[in-house]
Amino acid sequence: MTFAEEPLLELEHLKTQFFTEDGVVKAVDDVSFKLHRGEVLGLVGESGCGKTITSLSILKLVPTPPGKIVGGKVMFNGEDLLELSEERMRQIRGNEISMIFQDPMTSLNPVFTVKNQILENIKLHQDVSEDEALEKGIELMQMVGIPEARRRINDYPHLFSGGMRQRVMIAMALSCNPQMLIADEPTTALDVTIQAQVLDLIKDLQEDLNMAVLYITHNLGVIAEIADNVAVMYAGNIVEYTDVNTIYDKPDHPYTRALLSSIPRMDKKISRLGVIRGTVPNLITPPSGCRFHPRCPYATEKCSTQVPPYVEIEPSHFSFCHYAATL
């Protein structure tokens, strides 16, 4: 899939750090990618690699202190979000860029009705009357597949199941027809059948509304299902960026390969699943050179001293490795 027009969102050398007592955690280090209208970009990586902090940085919701965006640009519709005032930022949040979170059990406020929480968003960003907002809220709940929406909108979140709560979250996020949705592991806390339903829902809505979606997950199976392009993150860097087919057929970066060999596949017979030796590095004192080198089976002297370049192996296929396209 190609997207000719200008990107909706473009991250340029984004750096977010946390200033803790133990030192500076370089959680997001020089991250760049583009996201076009109607595109679904999967951001994959293991826990603690900086996926969530990247998405919170886009909305400028990194907990401050201790976190701080120390460099880079977040270009959205030609504006650098990092330059915008907090007031302008609030008009963008929930209106032009919405976000849904990992755990639907805790991301809705338990003491307010669903109606209160959905309508709050609509009334904040749109000039509508109470009745219009209510109709819109009910419509949204029907759109995300909540039965008896007119009655259930008055319920409190604890009366909904996990999957239904995530649908409520999606309805809330989509209430102002955002141009972009950030989905931070929205199916991780759900059980498998519900996962599939929620995933289908997001995909359908994305196509209907022609939204851009930044889909964050550690689950490569989910990526295959939903994404157009994939960015693989490791220890605060994007190590590989390509389209969804290439990532499974011709992964380039050693980390991507290791990640893929560690999951079972239906199309290949594997006698033993691969493991990535070692542990995720401490981001206060990340490894020198390529951050993956202590765990990389192909690492050489050069890898531990020099930061690798972003190599464009093929058009729109980037690998962050000294030996890109040669291994």
Partner 1 sequence: MSLRNYVIRRLLFSIPLFLGISIILFALMINAPADYVDVLRLTNPTMSPEEAANIRHNLGLDREPMEQYILWLLGRNSEVGDWGNFFEEFANFVIFIPFRFIQDTGVLDFGVPDSNFEPGFIFGNMGRSFTGSSINSIIGALAWETIKLQLASLLMSLMIGIPLGIFSARKPYSRLDNLGTTLALFGVSMPVFWTGIMFILLFSDYKIFFGIRFPALGSTSYTLTGNEGAIELLVDELAHMILPTIVLGLAGTALVLRLTRSSMLEVLRQDYILTARSKGLPERLVIYKHALRNALLPVVTVVGLSIGFLLAGAALTETVFSWPGLGREAVARINLRDYNFMMGVNMLIAIMVIVSNLVTDITYAFLDPRIRY
CA distance 32 to 26: 15
Q: Please report whether residue 111 would count as binding partner 1 according to CB under 8 A.
A: yes
Q: Report whether 254 contacts 296 (CB < 8 A).
A: yes
Least separation, in Å, of the C-beta of 137 and partner 1? Answer: 13
Read out DSSP for 138-175? HHHHHHTT-TTHHHHTTS-GGGS-HHHHHHHHHHHHHT
Q: Which residue has the tokens 């190609």?
A: 2
Q: Please report whether residue 47 would count as binding partner 1 according to CB under 8 A.
A: no
Q: Please report whether residue 98 would count as binding partner 1 according to CB under 8 A.
A: yes
Nearer to partner 1, 109 or 262 (CB): 109
Binders of partner 1 among residues 139 to 158 (CB under 8 A) are 156, 158
CA distance 55 to 51: 7
Q: Which residue has the tokens 């929406």?
A: 149
CA distance 321 to 297: 13
Both tokens assigned to 3:
């997207």
Answer for which of 169, 174, 183, 198 binds partner 1 (CB under 8 A) is 169
Residues 181-220, one symbol each (x = binds partner 1 by CB under 8 A, - = not), give: ----------------------------------------
Least separation, in Å, of the C-beta of 90 and partner 1? Answer: 4
Angle formed by the axes of helices 130-143 and 114-125, to 10°? 120
Q: Please report whether residue 95 would count as binding partner 1 according to CB under 8 A.
A: yes
Q: Please report whether residue 68 would count as binding partner 1 according to CB under 8 A.
A: no
Q: Please report whether residue 93 would count as binding partner 1 according to CB under 8 A.
A: yes
Angle formed at CA 42 by CA 263 and CA 16, multiple of 5 degrees: 110
10 contact partners, CB below 8 Å, separation of at least 6: 32, 33, 34, 35, 73, 74, 75, 76
Q: Please count the residues of this chain forming the interface with partner 1, following the rule CB under 8 A.
A: 30
Least separation, in Å, of the C-beta of 242 and partner 1? Answer: 29
Q: Please report whether residue 120 would count as binding partner 1 according to CB under 8 A.
A: yes
Nearer to partner 1, 106 or 177 (CB): 106
Answer for which of 14, 25, 44, 99 binds partner 1 (CB under 8 A) is 99
Q: Which residues bind partner 1 (CB under 8 A)?
A: 59, 61, 89-95, 98-99, 101-103, 106-113, 120-121, 124-125, 156, 158, 169, 172
